[in-house]
Amino acid sequence: MATITYPTLMEIDFGAIKQLGDALRRNNISRPLICTDKGIIDCGIFDTVRGVVPNDVTLTVYDETPGNPTERAVKDAARLYRENDCDGVIALGGGSSIDLGKAVSLSITHEGPIDNYSAINGGRDKIGAAPPIIAMPTTAGTGSEVGGGLVIITEEGKKTVIVSPNLIPKMAICDPDLTLGLPKQLTAATGMDAMAHCIEAYLTPIINPPAAAIGLDGLERVVTYLKRAVDDGQDKEARWNMMMAASEGAMAFAKGLGAVHSMSHAVGADETLRLHHGTLNAVLLPTVLRFNADHVGDKYVRLRRAMGLAEGADIAAWIEEFNHSINLPANLGEMGVTHEMIADLSDHCMTDACHFSNPKIPTVEEYHVMFAEAIGS
């Protein structure tokens, strides 16, 4: 069992779900709302987790978390929370369920539209105490389990970032057993989310050497273990390392993210396309890395070292090949994004929290060019 506190208490081990009862007890939670999704119910993970919940704990279940959590879904879950007089949240699933769980917690003690609490609207200073959250990731992943950030699609259709230390889960229970059955496509996509977090966080101009160091370590793990996890889901060593890398990605992005995320948030807000955040990050990384190349000093030297690439190797090209090797799309066009969407997408980027910490803050025209490149012909 590895116990880590940066800044969340995190336990990572096969069988860690058995810590759930103690975690609930320590945080005085006896009537939790468990926020999860239908996939987690269907594949049996929910039953496994329910099996370790103590008898004196009353579980209320919200299992309708959408692929990208919406303010509407948060309201539905919060209603269930209040109706059942819940006293805490268990968030079980991928980033969507964990982010939804954080948003539910926020909404219990904070009124009004969720966009009021967006980072871009000074939300951080408005967010006070909120019910305790226990996070249990089933992907590897967003790393949302160890941080105080979340992403929600508002009722106005904007994908917005909310951040507060008061939304940091009281505990992250990271059990790689829950990922052994994660399908190849999701393994690849969520793994690339972790890679994008590590790379983008490392590249931001914000000074935070511990976060940067953690990001490079996470990056090395993803490069070493992701393809193994995709090729053989039962590879326990690979699954442990991917779970660790995912959490490290989120620890690293304490120093911010960049244009990969502003762009993937923009595309991910589209509720018709319903595209996966991790897949979008994977596909956007090469474009943004090319855009950033002249604005990062010698940081690409360190990236290559962490990734085991030769001196001067083309990192963007390597990622394109890697994406291909794990069957991710070659460009946004394959995913249904069209050139007609570029103007609106670019506008969405300009007010995204992550936009402001890209090594070079793009102009809207530069987003036009990047989207065009990422969509392909």
Q: How far apart are CA 33 and CA 43, in angstroms?
A: 20
Q: How far apart are CA 291 and CA 53, in angstroms?
A: 48
Helices of type H across the chain: 20-26, 38-42, 45-50, 71-83, 95-109, 184-203, 209-231, 236-252, 259-268, 277-292, 299-307, 315-325, 342-350, 364-375
197 contacts its own copies (rule: CB under 8 A): no
Minimum CB separation of residue 213 from its own copies in Å reads 4
166 contacts its own copies (rule: CB under 8 A): no
308 contacts its own copies (rule: CB under 8 A): no
213 contacts its own copies (rule: CB under 8 A): yes
Interface residue with its own copies, options 122, 165, 183, 297 (CB under 8 A): 165
Q: Specify whether the CB–CB gap between 255 and 211 falls below 8 A.
A: yes
209 contacts its own copies (rule: CB under 8 A): yes
Minimum CB separation of residue 291 from its own copies in Å reads 25
DSSP tag of 306: H
Interface residue with its own copies, options 185, 208, 224, 351 (CB under 8 A): 208
Interface residue with its own copies, options 206, 330, 343, 364 (CB under 8 A): 206
Interface residue with its own copies, options 44, 122, 157, 210 (CB under 8 A): 210
Build a one-symbol-per-residue string for 222-251: x at contacts with its own copies by CB under 8 A, - elsewhere.
Answer: ----------------------x---x--x
Minimum CB separation of residue 215 from its own copies in Å reads 8
Task: Please work out the total of residues on this chain that contact its own copies, with binding judged by CB under 8 A.
Answer: 23
Q: How far apart are CA 48 and CA 162, in angstroms?
A: 31
Nearer to its own copies, 219 or 342 (CB): 219
Q: What is the DSSP string of 191-236?
A: HHHHHHHHHHHHHSS---HHHHHHHHHHHHHHHHHHHHHHH-TT-H
4 contacts its own copies (rule: CB under 8 A): yes
| Residue matched to tokens 């969405």 | 348
303 contacts its own copies (rule: CB under 8 A): no
Nearer to its own copies, 129 or 207 (CB): 207
**Range 170-185 burial, b when 16+ CB lie within 10 A, else e:** bbbbbbbbbbeebeee
CA-closest candidate to residue 147, choices 107, 199, 201, 109: 201
Minimum CB separation of residue 251 from its own copies in Å reads 6
Residues found near its own copies in the complex (CB under 8 A) = 2-7, 165, 206-214, 216-217, 221, 244, 248, 251, 254
